[in-house]
Amino acid sequence: MRSRVVTFVQFAALMMAVSFVLPSSSNGEVFWEETFENHLTPNWDTGACGIAQPPDGCNPGISTGIAYNGTRSLKSHFVGNHVQAGTYLDRYHPPTTNVYTRHYYYTVNFAYDTQSATKDFYQLSAAGGIDGLEIWYGHAFGSRELFAQLTVAVDNPSCPGRSCNFYANAASVPLADNRWYCIETHVNAGTPNVANGVIEVWVDGVQTLQYTNVLMSFSANAVWNLVRPYAQYGDGDRYMDNFAVGNTRIGCAGGAPGPNPPIGLTTK
């Protein structure tokens, strides 16, 4: 029997043909990724600044001080003493009951609010009432670890009082100053009136928070469709970069980033 040598080009063509007939392994989608290298508007609603849609926001706003990559990021400046520091920005994404986020996070001379909490960002649905969903991620009572606070439309065993906290329960990763962290979150609203919702957080690929069997949805119309970074209580400067949202886990580009102190950089 005569042997046949398959060239590299023939092998590549064969693999390409096979790939067309294989089913896709995932229907997941990344809705958008924001690198903050351009103006916030028109993708972001900056109207909460109190003036007509400033293109670079206010507080938070685009800064050239410190960036994960490129030259710009989203900076929030906090003033301490439990004083409201700034406001928020909104950006919509396609409605979904299952949403993941990924962003890079950096603080300078930062102290988290000890009287209540320091909010990082919300996930919301534009609808209110029984169709509404609300969760935010941040740091409670001065802690450098991430937690989540869920607000629901109806009192239930998963969230009595309609607002309840979910603290780190899988691993401890306090967030130090002067280095970038990759922060990932996942929330699945689950089935309406069924306790099968999920809340998860990862820091540099390490899962720090995981709660399952959470009752948070009470309507077939309850979907997440809005992300809201918020500068409220705390002291110091916070930067966010490469903020991405989707209905599949996005992951950290090139793996989890390591220590990266600013050298010769000034904040704006």
**Average pLDDT in the 58-65 region?**
96
User: What is the mean predicted confidence (pLDDT) over 65-82?
Assistant: 96
- The distance from CA 119 to its chain's CA centroid, rounded to whole angstroms, is 12
Contact call for residues 78 and 236 (beta carbons, < 8 A): yes
Q: Is the pLDDT of residue 160 over 70?
A: yes
If you average pLDDT over residues 141-160, what whole number do you get?
Answer: 94
Mean per-residue pLDDT over the chain, rounded: 87
CA dihedral 103, 104, 108, 110 (to 10 degrees): 40
Cβ-Cβ contacts under 8 Å for 95 (sequence gap 6 or more): 125, 223, 224, 225
pTM: 0.85
Let me know: does 183 contact 103? Beta carbons within 8 Å: yes
Instruction: Tell me the per-residue pLDDT of 231-266, one tens digit each, with 9 for 90 and over.
Output: 999 999 999 999 999 999 999 975 444 444 333 333
Confidence of residue 45 (pLDDT cuts 50, 70, 90): very high
Task: Classify residue 254 as exposed, middle or buried by CB count within 10 Å of its CB (0-12, 13-18, 19+).
Answer: exposed
* 8 A C-beta contact, residue 216 and residue 122: no
Give the separation between CA 87 and CA 58, rounded to whole angstroms.
8
Do the Cβ atoms of 75 and 239 come closer than 8 Å? yes
pLDDT higher than 50, residue 216: yes
Q: Tokens 């720090």 — which residue? A: 208
Residue 18 has pLDDT above 60, yes or no: no
Domain-wise residue ranges, the chain = 28-246
pLDDT tens by residue, 255-264: 444 444 333 3
Query: String of b and e for 42-60 (b: at least 16 CB within 10 Å)?
Result: eebbbeebeeeebebbbbb
The CATH classification number of 28-246 equals: 2.60.120.200
pLDDT above 70 (res 155): yes
pLDDT tens-digit readout, 74-130: 999 999 999 999 999 999 999 999 999 999 999 999 999 999 999 999 999 988 899
Kindly state the average pLDDT of the residues 154-167. 91
